[in-house]
Amino acid sequence: MTADKEIVLSVRNLTKAYSAAGERIAVLRGVNLEIAAGERVALTGESGSGKSTLLHLVAGLDRADGGEIDVAGASVSQLNEAALAAMRRDRLGLVFQQFNLIPSLSVRDNLAFQSRIAGRHDAAWQNELAERLGLAAFLDRYPEQLSGGQQQRVAIGRALAVKPALLLADEPTGNLDEATADDVLSLTRDLVAQTGCGLLMVTHSTRLAATLDRHIHLSAGLIA
Ligand code: ADP
Ligand code: MG
């Protein structure tokens, strides 16, 4: 960790349990994690180890039982729902395995969706993203007219258009074939570096994890 870089994600002693069939199951048992601006971190762990839970808590989509989460200076546990929504809109980019594009909007309008809502639309930056993501020729198409890899590139462009402090990606290449996954990931790596945001990416692939700056592993509710 470089000392002079802004910390865009700080997680301290994070705990979360779920109730299932009358039993409490501890999923996160005291997770600690820091990500600096520009740092790209891969998160692996067995299925059910709590990777998505961790991302949901960071995004404020679910509440932790204990611990602290700071996203670019915002203390997630102390925000009310409206402030959490604003935090997600203004500081976070979210990318999931399902591309979650809006079917009735063109590629251009999907790309602009979050940045327009956040009041931070920057046409020059969006054009550059479209160019870099190989989407410039497809701006008037609709999501159903794109391949899976192209759809995921739109989702990544939409997330980065807002110039987030932190990009959270939950198995973003899980629905793509290996060559397309490599392609999408290397573009994401480069664009994150250019944007200067932090990246926390869940992946099943230790091969892909090894291509990021740091690889962390979630096991028995802790990051080793
Ligand atoms: P991963 O993403 O690593 O596969 P998850 O974070 O999705 O794992 O889930 C971790 C554990 O928490 C699993 O045992 C899962 O069944 C449980 N879990 C996740 N979300 C809920 C929920 N909303 N209610 C009850 N249990 C849940
Ligand atoms: Mg998951």
For the chain, give the percent of residues with pLDDT over 70: 98
For residue 170, the ligand 1 atom closest to its alpha carbon is: 2
Its pTM stands at 0.95
Q: Using an 8 Å Cβ cutoff, are 176 and 186 in contact? A: no
Distance from residue 54's CA to the centre of ligand 2 (Å): 9
Please tell me the predicted confidence (pLDDT) of residue 3. 54
The burial class, CB within 10 Å (0-12 / 13-18 / 19+), for 157 is: buried
What's the pLDDT tens digit per position in 72-119? 999 999 999 999 999 999 999 999 999 999 999 999 999 999 999 999
- Number of residues written out for the chain: 224
Please tell me the predicted confidence (pLDDT) of residue 27. 98
Q: 222 pairs with which residues across the strands?
A: 219
Q: What sign has the CA pseudo-torsion 163, 95, 51, 26?
A: positive
> Architecture of domain 39-62+85-223 in CATH?
3-Layer(aba) Sandwich (3.40)
What's the pLDDT tens digit per position in 145-182? 999 999 999 999 999 999 999 999 999 999 999 999 99
What's the pLDDT tens digit per position in 38-60? 999 999 999 999 999 999 999 99
Q: Using an 8 Å Cβ cutoff, are 111 and 154 in contact? A: yes
Q: What is the DSSP letter of 6?
A: P
Question: CA 123 to CA 139: how far, in whole Å?
Answer: 13
Q: Using an 8 Å Cβ cutoff, are 197 and 129 in contact? A: no
Question: CA 57 to CA 26: how far, in whole Å?
Answer: 14
Q: If you take atom 15 of ligand 1, which residue's CA is the nearest one?
A: 48
Q: What is the mean pLDDT of residues 207-219?
A: 96
Q: What is the mean pLDDT of residues 189-206?
A: 95
Please tell me the predicted confidence (pLDDT) of residue 5. 83
For the chain, domain boundaries: 39-62+85-223
Q: 18 pairs with which residues across the strands?
A: 25
Please tell me the predicted confidence (pLDDT) of residue 60. 96
For residue 50, the ligand 1 atom closest to its alpha carbon is: 6
